[in-house]
Amino acid sequence: MHTLKSPTTLSFRAKPVFRCLQRSKSPNIEGATGDASGLELAESDKRLMELGYKPEFRREMSLFGVLGLSFCAIGILTGSSAAFQTGLFSGGPLGLFWGWNICSLFMLLIALSQAEICSAFPTMGGLYFWVSKLKPDLPILAYCTGWIYTIAMILTGTSGNLTVALFIASLAEVGSGRTLTRVEIAAMAWGVNILSGVINTIGTKAIGKMSTFNIWWTLGGTFVLAITLLVKAPVKNSAEFVFTDLENFTGWSSKGFVVLLGFLQAVYSLEGSETAGQVAEEAKRAELLAPIAIVGSILGSWIIGLAYMLALLFSVQSITNIQTTSYAIPIAQLYYDAVGKRLTLMCLAVICLAQFMAAVTAFTASSRLCYALARDNAFPAKGAFMALNRYQAPYVGVWVSVFVGCVVSCAYIGSIIAFNAILSSAAIAVMLSYLQPIAIRVFWPSSLKVRGPFHLGKWSWTINAISFAFSSFICVLFILPTAFPVNENNMNYAVVSVGCIILIVASTWVFWGRFRYTGPVLTNANVHVGRIHSKSGSSSDEKVE
């Protein structure tokens, strides 16, 4: 049985929050001149040059493409399917339903916090660059954030591609009754990793088209899956079961703690909206569209994920069957019990394709992060990682991500427990990366000296404080044991994996980074100081360092 039972052993008042939706005037920039003198720069390129970077990428992504990328990275249909058993065994329907809505609200607040910062600093460095600008006097914070988040994205892509292989293995077992070996599943994961690399090598336009397609695929697929389940399931569960039934397969006696463990399914499924920040230099009007995509992808995922979850809960025939299934992906058992063999094959194929598109975007993010870090001397082999092919893709970062993904996938052959621990650390590393810029906004409220068109107004500090508290809580929850009594087979080894990531990053800083990295490196030599004028007429200077 090759089952990833658990990925862990595996938003405010409308007026100030959504001021970004008002059509605002372009920032006025004084003293900014580009290489193409006399030609009017695009609004987003002006802001990028003011931040000190020369535009290197073609801006080919529209709002729909950027929104689709974040939506694709979240992968609501796939995350909810792959991690469904985690919540089902830890809290049951009650924990899944209420945990989904509670976590979605908090993840929306985190997205709002990120969107406000992204609007002020729309560069592909994303979380890393935000930290570097918010706290320039502590370069170690930005360096560690960038490295941890890059590792997290590579492991997230690896996890997604392995999950694609597990869906294919489940399709094979449902269709023919043949159980694939670990070596066969790992080999398929290598193939999916390579295919992800090929798509990312083709460039921005291909990724944008795929992301747009994924929006419609996910919307249409969720509708088809939900209707299929509700129409074909022989037994429909009652509302009382869906909203109040508590299940506990963990061994823990505390019902409250068991329900909290179920929160991990929701958080795991909703990570990824910040990916819009990684393509900010490839999007039109990035200072507005990227933050809208960050928030919009969470809102859309909340609604779509809730509809899908309700369909699953009303249609589940036997929780015990799911718990004891031999299928590589446990939710395959739910579909088989509810809709039969042929429709199960169709449903799994729909989810499998959505999972693949979600995994591709993780390598999109990691390759852009490698480029951004190399540009600022925070990554070795600067020339290689900054090289672009004829499709304007940072191909070295793409194939380094693919190579690491293939190496990590080998761990699945030796030990599923070890592999789960490695992949679980990715989800924790993402939350740790979320924490850095939000913590700075909480403890140094004046750190955001320049405000973009998307801002939270007087609610900014409150939303950041709540986001910080929730992110900290989830980071702790992710490393706690998910079963009792704890033994070598059910221990949550994610804490060991996260510790290794932190040790690696800290070592690179001590022996290499602190001698080379001092902060963002100016690549647009013609811009030294940009001045952004607020609507009130006041202005603030920002020195590009």
How many CB atoms lie under 10 A from the CB of residue 538? 8
pLDDT at 21: 37
CB 543 within 8 A of CB 527: no
**CA separation, residue 15 to residues 158, 453, 456 (Å):** 40, 14, 9
**CA separation, residue 473 to residues 7, 104, 206, 463 (Å):** 17, 15, 38, 15
pLDDT at 544: 36
Collapsing DSSP to helix, strand or coil, 95 comes out as: helix
- What are the structural domains of the chain? 60-513 (1.20.1740.10)
Helix ranges restricted to H, 177-203: 182-202
How many CB atoms lie under 10 A from the CB of residue 137? 6
532 - beta bridge partners? 540
**Secondary structure letter of residue 243 according to DSSP:** H
pLDDT at 36: 37
Distance (Å, rounded) from C-alpha 494 to C-alpha 401? 21
Low-confidence residues of the chain: pLDDT under 70? 1-42, 524-545
Q: Rounded to a whole number, what is the largest CA-CA distance in the chain?
A: 71
Distance (Å, rounded) from C-alpha 99 to C-alpha 269? 12
pTM of the predicted protein model: 0.86
| Segment 47-97, tens digit of pLDDT | 888 887 788 777 877 777 788 888 888 989 988 998 899 999 999 999 999
CB 421 within 8 A of CB 496: yes
Nearest residue to 290 (alpha-carbon basis) of 56, 69, 107, 76:
69
Two structure tokens written together for 545: 């360092």
Residues 6 or more apart whose CB falls under 8 angstroms from that of 157 comprise 193, 196, 359, 360, 362, 363, 366, 401, 405
How many CB atoms lie under 10 A from the CB of residue 132? 28
Two structure tokens written together for 496: 């060991």
Collapsing DSSP to helix, strand or coil, 326 comes out as: coil
HSE toward the beta carbon, residue 266, CA cutoff 13 A: 33
Two structure tokens written together for 412: 């699945």
pLDDT at 42: 57
CB 158 within 8 A of CB 449: no
- The string of DSSP codes covering 350-399 is HHHHHHHHHHHHHHHHHHHHHHHHHHTTSSS-HHHHT---TTS--HHHHH
Collapsing DSSP to helix, strand or coil, 539 comes out as: strand
Distance (Å, rounded) from C-alpha 190 to C-alpha 429? 23
Distance (Å, rounded) from C-alpha 532 to C-alpha 494? 44
**Secondary structure letter of residue 518 according to DSSP:** -
533 - beta bridge partners? 539
Distance (Å, rounded) from C-alpha 319 to C-alpha 350? 23
Collapsing DSSP to helix, strand or coil, 333 comes out as: helix
pLDDT at 524: 66
| Segment 458-471, tens digit of pLDDT | 999 999 999 999 99
Nearest residue to 6 (alpha-carbon basis) of 263, 226, 238, 246:
263
Residues 6 or more apart whose CB falls under 8 angstroms from that of 179 comprise 1, 2, 169, 173, 326
